[in-house]
Amino acid sequence: MASNAQRRDITRDRILTAAARLLRDEGPSAVTTRRVAQEAGLQPPALYRFFQGKDDLLDAVAEHVFAEHVAGKQTTAPSDDPVEDLRAGWNTQISFGLANPYVFGLLLDAARARATAPEVKGLRILAERVHRIAAAGRLRVSEERAVNLIRSAGIGTVHTLLTLPPEQSDPHLADAAFDAIARAILMDEPTVGRQDPAAVVAAFRNLLPELPTLTKPEVALLDEWLQR
């Protein structure tokens, strides 16, 4: 027999699943407590045991859908080519945004902006992929700059594709955007030459944790200098 906590989790999942379906098919305006309760087979007052109102429910739905997306990314094993893994992650993220425009909009709504657990996990996955590229000697900028450039370009690409009129649709825009970012952050060869100081710094920062003669505070201080 399920415990009270388990039954509560099951009911909450039913609510979120029903709300996610309405959000995907009809948009945020359809996600009312009455409609969601009806779809979930519950009475409207039952929803208020889990959510304060529509805004709270929408936030939870966006987090729920994005969490499923991030969980799928976590199950993907890395290949031998970190750049191709980065491209695959880019394609997955673009596809998610295009397939879930309402969730994408909610996640980027400045009035709702907050770092949810799935978003933090997603950012950590991206940072890990960028770190693998740095470890391979292919990164020409700092890891932080690379992550921020990729995030910015990804958000802008999805927004542009979602808002373009159908007759102006560009099926190759996402690939072109990634190629532009790749030229900005990647070295053509996994070697670091003195003619590219930024690449030297990026590669050296990657080696800091392995320097045996420095204490942790010294490593942190040196890393701060290198970032500057």
Residue pLDDT, tens place only, 116-138:
788 889 999 999 999 999 988 89
User: In terms of pTM, does the model score above 0.85?
Assistant: no
pLDDT on residue 219: 61
Q: What is the pLDDT of residues 182-210, one digit of tens each?
A: 999 998 765 555 455 666 666 666 666 66
Q: What is the pLDDT of residues 154-185, one digit of tens each?
A: 999 999 999 999 899 899 999 999 999 999 99
Q: Can you spell out the DSSP letters for the chain? A: ---HHHHHHHHHHHHHHHHHHHHHHH-GGG--HHHHHHHHTS-HHHHTTT-SSHHHHHHHHHHHHHHHHHHHHHTSPP-S-HHHHHHHHHHHHHHHHHH-HHHHHHHH-TTT----HHHHHHHHHHHHHHHHHHHTT-BSS-HHHHHHHHHHHHHHHHHHHHHS-GGG--TTHHHHHHHHHHHHHB-SSS---TT-HHHHHHHHHHHGGG-TTS-HHHHHHHHHHHH-
Q: Is the pLDDT of residue 27 over 70?
A: yes
pLDDT on residue 206: 60
Mean pLDDT of the chain: 86
